[in-house]
Structure 1
Amino acid sequence: MHLDIRASLICVTLATPVCADVTVSHGFSTFGDLKYGPDFPHFDYANPDAPQGGTMSQRQLYGTPTFNSLNAFIIKGDSAPEVTHHIYDSLMVRAYDEPDALYGLIAETITYPDDLSYVTFDMRPEARFHDGEPVTAADVVFTINALKTDGHPYYRNLLSDVQNITAETDHRVRFDLAPEAGSGVLGAIAELPVLPAHFYDDVPFDESWMTIPVGSGPYVVDTADAPRTITFCKDPDYWASDLPVNAGKNNFDCFNYEYFVDDTVGLEAFAAGEYLMRVEYRSASWATGYDFPAAQNGWVKQMMLPDGRPPSAQGIWFNMRQPALQDIRVREALEYAFNFEWTNETLFYGTYNRTDSFFENTEMEASGIPEGAELALLEPFRDDLPADVFTEPPHSPYAGAASPRDRAALRAASRLLDDAGWIAGDDGMRRNAAGELLSLSFPDDSRSLERVIVPFTENLKSLGIDINFEIIDPSSWSERRQTYDFDLSLTAWGVEVTPGAELRAFYGSASAAAEGGNNLSGVADPVVDALIEKVVAAPTRDDLVAAARALDRVLRSKHLWIGNWHLGAHRVAVWDVFDMPEQRAIYDFNRGVEFWWFDRDKYDALVAAGALTDRF
């Protein structure tokens, strides 16, 4: 293990002297030591001798169905998420074989005191944007101020602990942080893309646009044909190509992403060789869809790549801004209508586990009766929490039964609706005392999970609920989600290995009313806010785990969602033209692909066999 470059005692002369231990380092870890020393040659999961060239062509990231903007930092428009992956460098980059460590990229060193009241980054003077302009501290200041003022609510929540930012020199930038901001904030700051201030002299930061953006990263936007495809190709003058954090990385000449609204069409395109790599999200397709000739001939491989990260927090989220869903009994009733057991066995080939927790399959998942440090965190809020938070294990939804129509679950749901005052009339429909119909909207922009949702909505209809499940175009769904114009939403959030300030965006009160935010359920609870801050400010990993467990327990008691399912691995299909390091990046699959490389001999053989056309 490697510690910091140096630590020293710095005294500032004020009315009374103020002294603090200050760390100066090539890297930063939220808790504990760094794996890599200041002179490390490359990450262990990188092959510094990897061949260069070729194209990584794949389906769009995260299942995003469309894009009409290259501005990835604001609410307006549907941005291409791949932009932030490829064209922007950050002050530091994450090591994907450590849970929470970062190492310098634009920043050569990071400086911070023990109390984390501030952080200073000394930047590499050789850093350049694609147009040749230097990357300076003023660009970092511009980035933070723009994101805090006009950025997506996610960024505004993430940066709420930044009280002030100052360019002390052209290549030194200082962040002054709120008291008890926590070490996770330092990591969040360090990973933010650094934007070129001069680019926004002519391009509005707060508008959607298709102008080719300027960054300082390894790739530039080569072509962008919205909403169908976007391609990034190497910047031949990339300033950081020889840095240790980039050794064995960025081996492809280009990254190409093909967008598909209909995933069935996307699979057909993959089978025809129109793109070369595909993460498969549908278990049915994985089990039965790869019987096309290229797969039968061995030209296409199916791989299960393990993932060390927590599963996504995927579920059907209840929008508690809507009056009917403010009653917890109604939300509980909706949970009973989702039959996971039947869904998993019949539609998913028994491949998934049920998701109960917001930190599923990690040490941060609450279990049993609260005790020790977790109980101590919850105790001050005893009067504000349901009694069973302290006396019962955390809530887990009813699993379901082997038959599609689980009568026991539906009877339990019916009783809850009756207790909530939604009574079934002669026509079988449920109304309240004012005669209002229990009507719920459930929009989505993809048909890929329609086979899962339709049995759920049929159960809701059998309970007398007027449920309107509709597939709408992606732009309409994006607009409705920004204004919270829905009752139910099938959505997944990524969960960090070391969660921190981003939790405010998903579950914090400040984000509940922010248009376009990530708090889909609209949860606004001072207890939740207080526990989020305990996670953010946790001084040790043990403290973070205890705080996350307490937060998980309280969130689960609120019945914010119907937790879906998780796998713990990635189903990946590739045309057999790629190789990858033997040791893989276990904490981020999507970024791990950046360490793969193109095998020209394999590709040429498939072209010669007529399996692929020579265009990659």
Structure 2
Amino acid sequence: AKWHDGKPITTDDVIWSFQVLKANSPMYSRYFENVTDAVAISDREVEFHFDQKGNRELPKILGDLVVLPKHWWEGTDANGKKRDITRPTQEPPLGSAAYKIASFKPGTEIIWQRVPDYWGAKLPVKIGRENFDRQRFSYFLDDNASWQAFTKGGFEDFRVESRAQRWAVEYTFPAIKAGDVIKAEYPTTSPEPMQAYVMNTRRPLFQDVRVRQALTYAYDFESMNRTIFFGAYTRTDSYFEGGDLASSGLPQGKELEILQQYRDKLPPELFTQEFKLPVYTTPQSGRENLRKAYDLFKQAGWVNRGGKLVNEKTGEPFRIEFLGNDPVDERVAGPLIDNLRRLGIDATLRIVDDSQYTNRTRAFDFDMLAVAGFQQSNSPGNEQRDFFSSTAADTSGSRNLAGIKNPIVDALIDRVIFATDRDDLIAATHALDRVLLWNYYMIPQWHLGKIRIAYWNKFGIPEKQPTYSGVDQNSWWIDPDKEKALAAKHKSGN
């Protein structure tokens, strides 16, 4: 293995990368919480030392360690200035992968060039992949502009479509009708992400679980799915949606044994009722759900006065600002906001640009996020600390956006991380999932179960695609005959 400058990747690079990432990255510091140090035991081997036994996932995480070139980062740039890995830079960093940066325009585009003597090209996992000589990524600040560019050709060769309405009714432009753009759906077998409205429980407004549950009862997924999403989606009802890690029914067996340890600190319903999200199937069920929401607000000390929901003691109005970074978030948050206003809540949506959104979420400066996603794997472990632990709740930039600080959740995270076998992992994950759900930290939204892709008909595509991820565009290649035919029909350069 070698860097793009021809120098070999050494054990010194591995050890230095581990030390730098653990010291400077909040995410890696949590992942490596149980790793004490790393030492070279030969020219090609590094040994990591753990302070606890039984963390079965940690060796795999260390196998995914991002290795950085120590000699380059400790060197100087073209102006003789010493590089600093903790600071932003516009100097393309040295890498070791199949592609390297050929050129870039900040905020506009970046072009990647395939490395002709890439050291890993003959590895079995690389054969048949990474077939493009150049890849150009153009950045659009507006999704509609990106969409229009795709329909004209020359900017996007393929597009992953996330909007159900667009997929259902807007793929009618001339290139589609001519067969020059192909629509395809690839089923996925991987766990579905928990996509949700996220309440910031650091704010006093959301610290009462009855308030969080009431807000959940105000969300009408069924009407949104029918009227906005063309019936495309399925309601998400687990943090580990899809597969055997999602909790269901009542706790039993080993999961019940785990939860019994915390019985006096958990909602009693957790043991006697199957967790169910409210369903809006008829006007009557809608009224019943909103009535249930109001009853919960009232129990938590909020009452309706003059059409406004206010604190029973102080008279303070109940206000929520949803935060989003895309105009599409208006469609996502709008129906829920309408129902909240019917309950007397002063609910609004603020759309900010990406940089503001990033800064505000890193600083946890929001009431509720209009959309946030939490992708899980079939082998949950250390990343759960970054998602849900008390430590992460106080760490800027962590993925614990909800601000969860719950000692039972912390204990269950450790139970997941130190699971002894697959059955133990499943039981512990079920328990964690159930406790998260019954605390109503988020309002679950929806998932699809497949990937929607449209592409200009210039590719060769292997018939078999990985079902776990749905599709692997790096296994595609340019078909010269198809590309030539497209170029003759569309002079935009596609």
Tell me, yes or no, whether TM beats 0.5. Answer: yes
Structure 1 residue 521: deviation in Å? 0.7
2:91 to 211, 216, 240: 211
Paired position in structure 1 for 2:62: 189
Q: Percent identity?
A: 36
Q: Which deviates further from its counterpart, 280-289 or 422-431?
A: 422-431
Contact 2:221 2:279 in 1 (8 A): yes
* Residue pairs, 1:144-155, within 5 angstroms: 144-151=18-25, 153-155=26-28
Paired position in structure 2 for 1:430: 310
**Aligned residue type for 1:186:** P
Greater share of helix residues, 1 or 2?
2
Whole-angstrom CA distance in 1 between matches of 2:451 and 2:402: 27
Contact 2:330 2:349 in 1 (8 A): no
Whole-angstrom CA distance in 1 between matches of 2:187 and 2:335: 31
* Residue pairs, 1:150-549, within 5 angstroms: 150-151=24-25, 153-201=26-74, 202-273=82-153, 274-393=155-274, 395-401=275-281, 406-426=286-306, 428-489=308-369, 490-549=371-430
Contact 2:39 2:48 in 1 (8 A): yes
Structure 1 residue 243: deviation in Å? 1.6
SS where residue 305 of structure 1 aligns?
strand
Contact 1:221 1:233 in 2 (8 A): yes
2:462 to 568, 573, 581: 581
Residue ranges of structure 1 left out of the alignment (5+ in a row): 1-126
Kindly tell me: are residues 404 and 252 of structure 1, through their superposed partners in 2, closer, same or farther at Cα, counting changes over 3 Å? farther
Whole-angstrom CA distance in 2 between matches of 1:169 and 1:223: 38
* Residue pairs, 1:86-101, within 5 angstroms: none
**Aligned residue type for 1:600:** P
Contact 1:221 1:231 in 2 (8 A): yes
Contact 2:450 2:470 in 1 (8 A): no
SS where residue 15 of structure 2 aligns?
helix
2:16 to 135, 142, 160: 142
Contact 2:233 2:447 in 1 (8 A): yes
Q: TM-score, length-normalised on structure 1?
A: 0.76
Contact 1:283 1:349 in 2 (8 A): yes
Structure 1 residue 130: deviation in Å? 1.1
Q: Which deviates further from its counterpart, 562-571 or 156-165?
A: 156-165
Contact 1:404 1:455 in 2 (8 A): no
Residue ranges of structure 2 left out of the alignment (5+ in a row): 75-81
Whole-angstrom CA distance in 2 between matches of 1:193 and 1:255: 22
Whole-angstrom CA distance in 2 between matches of 1:535 and 1:596: 37
Kindly tell me: are residues 539 and 255 of structure 1, through their superposed partners in 2, closer, same or farther at Cα, counting changes over 3 Å? farther
Whole-angstrom CA distance in 1 between matches of 2:115 and 2:384: 35
The one-character-per-residue Cα deviations of 1:372-397 (angstroms, maximum 9, x if unpaired) are 1111221212222122222221x232
Paired position in structure 1 for 2:79: none
Structure 1 residue 589: deviation in Å? 4.2
**Aligned residue type for 1:198:** H
SS where residue 47 of structure 2 aligns?
strand
The one-character-per-residue Cα deviations of 1:2-38 (angstroms, maximum 9, x if unpaired) are xxxxxxxxxxxxxxxxxxxxxxxxxxxxxxxxxxxxx
Q: TM-score, length-normalised on structure 2?
A: 0.94
SS where residue 406 of structure 1 aligns?
helix
Contact 1:342 1:402 in 2 (8 A): no
Kindly tell me: are residues 239 and 605 of structure 1, through their superposed partners in 2, closer, same or farther at Cα, counting changes over 3 Å? same
The one-character-per-residue Cα deviations of 1:530-575 (angstroms, maximum 9, x if unpaired) are 2112222223222211111111111111101110101110001111
**Aligned residue type for 2:31:** L
Q: Which deviates further from its counterpart, 172-181 or 550-559?
A: 172-181
Kindly tell me: are residues 373 and 429 of structure 1, through their superposed partners in 2, closer, same or farther at Cα, counting changes over 3 Å? closer
Contact 2:73 2:83 in 1 (8 A): yes
**Aligned residue type for 2:45:** R
The one-character-per-residue Cα deviations of 1:258-304 (angstroms, maximum 9, x if unpaired) are 32332222111110112111110110010011111111111111111
SS where residue 378 of structure 1 aligns?
helix
Structure 1 residue 362: deviation in Å? 1.6
Contact 1:280 1:572 in 2 (8 A): yes
Contact 2:389 2:404 in 1 (8 A): yes
Kindly tell me: are residues 445 and 405 of structure 1, through their superposed partners in 2, closer, same or farther at Cα, counting changes over 3 Å? farther
The answer on 1:572 being equivalent to 2:453 is yes
SS where residue 169 of structure 1 aligns?
coil
The one-character-per-residue Cα deviations of 1:137-195 (angstroms, maximum 9, x if unpaired) are 111111111111111x2222112121211123332211112323422111111112211
Contact 1:430 1:437 in 2 (8 A): yes
SS where residue 317 of structure 1 aligns?
strand
Contact 1:318 1:560 in 2 (8 A): yes
Contact 2:279 2:285 in 1 (8 A): no
Kindly tell me: are residues 175 and 404 of structure 1, through their superposed partners in 2, closer, same or farther at Cα, counting changes over 3 Å? farther
SS where residue 166 of structure 1 aligns?
strand
SS where residue 242 of structure 2 aligns?
coil
Contact 2:322 2:333 in 1 (8 A): no
The one-character-per-residue Cα deviations of 1:449-485 (angstroms, maximum 9, x if unpaired) are 3212112112112212122211111111111101100
SS where residue 301 of structure 2 aligns?
coil
SS where residue 146 of structure 2 aligns?
helix
Paired position in structure 2 for 1:610: 490
Whole-angstrom CA distance in 1 between matches of 2:176 and 2:479: 18
* Count of equivalent residues: 485
The one-character-per-residue Cα deviations of 1:73-119 (angstroms, maximum 9, x if unpaired) are xxxxxxxxxxxxxxxxxxxxxxxxxxxxxxxxxxxxxxxxxxxxxxx
Whole-angstrom CA distance in 1 between matches of 2:269 and 2:391: 27
Kindly tell me: are residues 132 and 589 of structure 1, through their superposed partners in 2, closer, same or farther at Cα, counting changes over 3 Å? farther
SS where residue 329 of structure 1 aligns?
helix
The one-character-per-residue Cα deviations of 1:500-540 (angstroms, maximum 9, x if unpaired) are 11111101111110001100111122211221122222232
Paired position in structure 2 for 1:129: 3
Kindly tell me: are residues 298 and 480 of structure 1, through their superposed partners in 2, closer, same or farther at Cα, counting changes over 3 Å? same
Contact 1:342 1:403 in 2 (8 A): no
Paired position in structure 2 for 1:56: none
Whole-angstrom CA distance in 2 between matches of 1:256 and 1:192: 27
Structure 1 residue 357: deviation in Å? 0.3
**Aligned residue type for 1:138:** D
**Aligned residue type for 1:200:** W
SS where residue 245 of structure 1 aligns?
coil
Structure 1 residue 228: deviation in Å? 2.6
Contact 2:55 2:419 in 1 (8 A): yes
Structure 1 residue 226: deviation in Å? 2.6
Kindly tell me: are residues 405 and 457 of structure 1, through their superposed partners in 2, closer, same or farther at Cα, counting changes over 3 Å? farther
Contact 2:54 2:420 in 1 (8 A): no
SS where residue 175 of structure 1 aligns?
strand
Kindly tell me: are residues 603 and 389 of structure 1, through their superposed partners in 2, closer, same or farther at Cα, counting changes over 3 Å? same
Kindly tell me: are residues 227 and 404 of structure 1, through their superposed partners in 2, closer, same or farther at Cα, counting changes over 3 Å? farther
